[in-house]
Amino acid sequence: GIVEKIKGGTASLFKIALNNALSDKGRRDMANLRDFFEIPYNVLELDSTKKTTPLPPTEKSVEEILTNDETFIKAVSKYEKRVEQIELSKMVMRSFLYNEILVSEAGTGTGKTFAYLIPSMLWSNFSNERILISTYTKNLEDQLFHKDIINISAGLSVKFKAVLIKGRKNYLCVKRWDDMFSVNFTSLNKDEKKSLPNLVIWQELTKTGDISENSSFWLHDNLSLWSKLSCDAMDCEMNKCPYFHECYLTRIRREAQEANIVVINHSLLFSDLNAEQKILGEYNRLIIDEAHNLEKAATDFLGTTVTSWQIKNVLDRLYKREKGLFVRMRNIITVIGKKIKNIPLDDLTKCIVSVDKAKTLLMEISQRIADEVEKSEYSGKLRLKEGDSLVEEIKPLNEALYS
């Protein structure tokens, strides 16, 4: 049973949490717990009895659906005809037909999600090509999959499979979960033990292991606990893991390999590119929604942030006002140097001088860059390339750091 999994006196906390959950929501039996947690499934297979479209969809067929298909218009919730949406949808279909690259800016109210989803679903159904749809925010990701795709599919007579997949840290690791109760339970602090019951109930019900579906577990307030239970690349044994066939992450990735439509976010897109497509596998088409955030997502994932103060802190640990690692080393060398020959005390003294020199040069470089950033017209952003005047100007300072 669920309660037996909770050890160390936490069973009573679990019972209280369960009773409160049922009482607050007016749910009196376990059958209704799934509704309480609002648990969806991140794999959607639509009408396996419907036939694959025999003829390729066209711009005209997309326009016909959006303007004159009574079945579609009646089936899709709150549908209204929009000229801009129809035109954009035709452009998307044309890009599929002629293998074109399409860049489009859609204003508010255009209905861009429908505009690219409808041709995507029709085209993938016909060609059996995998289409990836990438968004910037998880909210749009969830809305796209759990609302828009389902809504549109009600009016399209096509057979297809859609999968929502997220980064590995969103998923519960089955091995870590079982280890928590058999080995690591005593390592939890008091707050983590109090939060655990909400995970226990959810874990019994979830099909996906995706923590975002657990509305009773506030991830922001429980990052410490979740970091001990979520999938982690450094801790993953892959197919050598005894829980490999039960793994939520492995399962959803397998489903994604067989899907027509795969919904992801920009971070996972770049993670896959960095891993040479070993995460998402090969795909034929890519739709990037919220593309104006693509640069930020790329910078966040592929970039490295270093501040002058971070570097200064490292240098301070080496030497600062007769304190730091170099001073301790000098004191040790001074003591043992009387007994051992060839101790490089002079070299250490040079290192101490170099640290002070590096600090001065570092502040000069960072100040020069800061002055240039203030002049920039791009919201405090400055891109430096080889050959730029500022790069050439600070080169002597950089070289001095290594002299």
Element (H, E) at 26: none
Q: Which residues of 312-336 are buried (b: 16+ CB within 10 A; e: fewer)?
A: beebeebbbeeebebbebbeebeee
Asked whether the beta carbons of 161 and 43 are under 8 A apart, the reply is yes
Q: How far apart are CA 283 and CA 279, in angstroms?
A: 11
pLDDT at 399: 72
* Predicted local distance difference test score (pLDDT) of residue 246: 93
pLDDT in tens, the chain (403 residues): 444 554 444 455 555 555 554 444 434 444 455 555 555 678 888 764 555 556 789 999 999 999 999 889 988 888 888 999 999 999 999 999 999 999 999 888 888 999 999 999 999 999 999 999 999 988 889 899 999 999 998 888 788 899 999 999 999 999 999 998 888 788 888 898 888 888 988 898 899 999 988 888 888 889 999 999 999 988 888 889 999 999 999 999 999 999 999 999 999 999 998 888 889 999 999 999 999 999 989 988 888 888 888 888 888 888 888 888 888 888 887 777 656 666 667 777 788 888 888 888 888 888 888 888 887 766 667 777 887 887 887 777 667 666 6
Give the tokens for residue 94.
Answer: 């044309």
Per-residue model confidence (pLDDT) at position 183:
80
Count of alpha carbons within 13 Å of 23, Cβ hemisphere only?
Answer: 6
Q: What is the pLDDT of residue 52?
A: 53
Distances (CA, A) of 107 to 78, 88, 220, 290: 19, 11, 33, 12
pTM for the complete prediction?
0.74
Residue 339: the pLDDT is: 60
Structure-block tokens of residue 271: 């993670």
Specify the pLDDT at position 7: 47
Answer for the pair 40, 163: CB distance below 8 angstroms, yes or no: no
Q: By the 8 A CB rule, do 329 and 336 touch?
A: no
The two three-digit tokens of residue 160, written as one number: 């297809």
Q: Where are the alpha helices (DSSP H) in 44-111?
A: 59-68, 70-75, 83-97
pLDDT at 401: 64
